[in-house]
Amino acid sequence: MSATLAKGINSFKDVIDAPIASFFSSCVHCGLCAEACLFYTETGDAKYTPIHKLEPLRRVWQQEYTLLGKLGKALGLSKPITDEELAEWEPLVYDSCTMCGRCAMVCPVGNDLTYMIRKMREGMSASGHAPADLVGATTRAVNLGSPMGIKWPAVLAQIKHVQDETGIEVPVEKSGVDYLVLMSSMEIINFPEYLSALSRIFKQAGVSWTLAQDAFEATNSGIQIGASDLAREIVSRIVIAAERLKVKCVISPECGHAFTALRWEGPNLMGKAYTFDVKHILEVLDELRSAGKLKTNGKDKRPLTYHDPCQIARRGGVIEQPRHILGDIAADFREMPDAGKMNWCCGGGGGVSANSRAEPLRLEVFKHKKGQIEATGVKTLVTACANCRIVMEESLEHYHMKVEVIGLTELLAEYLVEDKAL
């Protein structure tokens, strides 16, 4: 699909709905959203004010959907949107927004700025103003099945490795089971611990599950870049596999944006409600725990804290579950300030970590998380998103901090009571 300015503007017009019109109508230019955004608080640069990132979209709304704006346009008084302007806005819309949703919790008139950024990216990508790295990742996801270009043989190699290590069979293409398990690219490449932890936990809990050969990857870069057609293509693979295997529930991995893509955007992209549930792995683990199917033994003595991935907590509603689990297995659990629904982003969500141009800025805004971690005094940081994890590992290294980052599922597996007779 060739991208042009006209397509971009049409797409801006398409995405503007009643909520967006009410948001732009309500904005009082108070600037409070800036105070919520780590890109502003850590740099002090006013251009990172969330509502400012939406300026081209606002003008399209004003010129197309308000009487005064239409009048101004007819009289030639309004400033048209140009390619140069969109090029200038590209780093604001992509590099300096992780779609963390913090600003949307703070705006006094209730503007969901994150909802608007997500929509604005549709027009940005349609007009050819999406970052090259994200375009590449999305093309790979559509053509190869994974944004990082991972193919099934790589997963198979990991399965074999996990089976050798745990002695537990990893089910593949099993029909009629309860759960279809997905992974993120990061987990397949960097964190094989996840699959191994899951095999052990599910075996103990007596859960029936499977992997699918054509739908193993949950990451959806189509959403991050703002190309709904591609995002739909990526989600549809999972939907088709879940329906073919007749599973009751699809488990979204330790990845924040994958959860948003699959859980909240997926049905809307497909144009129909799912016939199965979608749960984040932490929800499933907490359910098993409440049902008494998950027994742990002992507690981790290390002081540790939990980083809420934005899309899991604030934009996903999974806040209590990790705390229940940590309550069972951590002896010295310390909360960071603003933990839970007001957490601060790691700096790498919403496609920022996949965008190499944004790296210096991402490292700079990590200063907030850095300060928070230091305030707790821990050397162990637990999280539930492989992307947060890799971003934080890199950033911690950049700042020469000796803090270990671990996934919660994997930590839980360490304290699992395993009945070898099963």
Partner 1 sequence: MNHLDLLTFARGTALNWALVIFVLGITLRLFEIFGLGRKADLAKPRSNSCGNGWRTMFTRSLPPEGMLKREPVTYIAGYIFHVGLLAVIFLFAPHIEFFRSFFGFGWASLPSALVDALVVASILALGVLLAHRLNNPVKRMLSGFGDYLAWAATLLPLLTGYMAYHHLMFEYTLMLALHIFSVELLLVLLPFTKLFHTFSVFISRWYNGDIFGRKGVAS
- For binding to partner 1 (CB under 8 A), which residues are involved? 16-23, 25-32, 34-36, 40, 46-47, 49, 51-52, 65-68, 104-112, 115, 263-268, 270-274, 277, 313-319, 337-338, 341-342
CB-based contact 171:177 (threshold 8 Å) = yes
Q: Which is nearer to ligand SF4, 1 or 109 (CB)?
A: 109
**Which of the ranges 30-38, 140-148, 170-178, 247-255 carries the binding residues for ligand SF4, by CB under 6 A?**
30-38
Q: Taking Cα atoms as reference points, which of 166, 162, 224 lies closest to residue 195?
A: 162
**27: contact with ligand SF4 by CB under 6 A:** yes
Q: Which is nearer to ligand SF4, 121 or 389 (CB)?
A: 121
Q: Report how far residue 267's alpha carbon sits from residue 228's, in angstroms, rounded to the nearest whole number.
A: 12
**Which of the ranges 26-34, 178-186, 374-382, 385-393 carries the binding residues for ligand SF4, by CB under 6 A?**
26-34
* 3 state SS of 53: helix
From the list partner 1, ligand SF4, none, partner contacted by residue 39 (C-beta under 5 to 8 A by kind):
ligand SF4
Q: Which is nearer to partner 1, 6 or 68 (CB)?
A: 68
Q: Which is nearer to partner 1, 43 or 190 (CB)?
A: 43
Among 50, 128, 253, 348, binds ligand SF4 (CB under 6 A): 50
From the list ligand SF4, partner 1, none, partner contacted by residue 100 (C-beta under 5 to 8 A by kind):
ligand SF4
DSSP secondary structure code for residue 50 in this structure:
H
From the list partner 1, ligand SF4, none, partner contacted by residue 25 (C-beta under 5 to 8 A by kind):
partner 1
DSSP secondary structure code for residue 336 in this structure:
P
Q: Residue 208: which residues within 8 A CB-CB, separation 6 or more? A: 171, 174, 177, 178, 179
From the list ligand SF4, partner 1, none, partner contacted by residue 103 (C-beta under 5 to 8 A by kind):
ligand SF4
Q: Which is nearer to ligand SF4, 37 or 155 (CB)?
A: 37
* 3 state SS of 404: strand
Q: How far apart are CB 24 and ligand SF4 at their closest, in Å?
A: 9
**Pairing mode of beta strands 300-307, 209-210:** unpaired
Q: How far apart are CB 210 and ligand SF4 at their closest, in Å?
A: 35
Q: Taking Cα atoms as reference points, which of 328, 333, 314 lies closest to residue 380?
A: 333
From the list ligand SF4, partner 1, none, partner contacted by residue 288 (C-beta under 5 to 8 A by kind):
none
Q: Which is nearer to partner 1, 277 or 414 (CB)?
A: 277
Q: Angle of helix 18-26 relative to helix 113-126, nearest 10 degrees? A: 110
Q: Which is nearer to ligand SF4, 117 or 304 (CB)?
A: 117
- Give, as ranges, the residues between 93 and 132 that touch ligand SF4 (CB under 6 A): 97-103, 107-109, 111, 113-114, 117
Q: How far apart are CB 239 and ligand SF4 at their closest, in Å?
A: 27
Q: Which is nearer to partner 1, 53 or 129 (CB)?
A: 53
Q: How far apart are CB 348 and ligand SF4 at their closest, in Å?
A: 11
Q: Taking Cα atoms as reference points, which of 131, 147, 133, 357 lies closest to residue 234?
A: 147
DSSP letters of 79-140? PPP-HHHHHHHHIIIIIT-----HHHHH-TT---HHHHHHHHHHHHHHTT-S-HHHHHHHHH
Q: Residue 411: which residues within 8 A CB-CB, separation 6 or more? A: 300, 329, 382
DSSP secondary structure code for residue 3 in this structure:
-
Q: Taking Cα atoms as reference points, which of 146, 48, 170, 98 lies closest to residue 385?
A: 98
Site string for ligand SF4, 204-243 (x = CB under 6 A): ----------------------------------------
Amino acid, single-letter form, for residue 286: D
Q: Report how far residue 362's alpha carbon sits from residue 96's, in angstroms, rounded to the nearest whole number.
A: 8
**Residues in touch with ligand SF4 (CB under 6 A):** 27-33, 36-37, 39, 50-51, 97-103, 107-109, 111, 113-114, 117
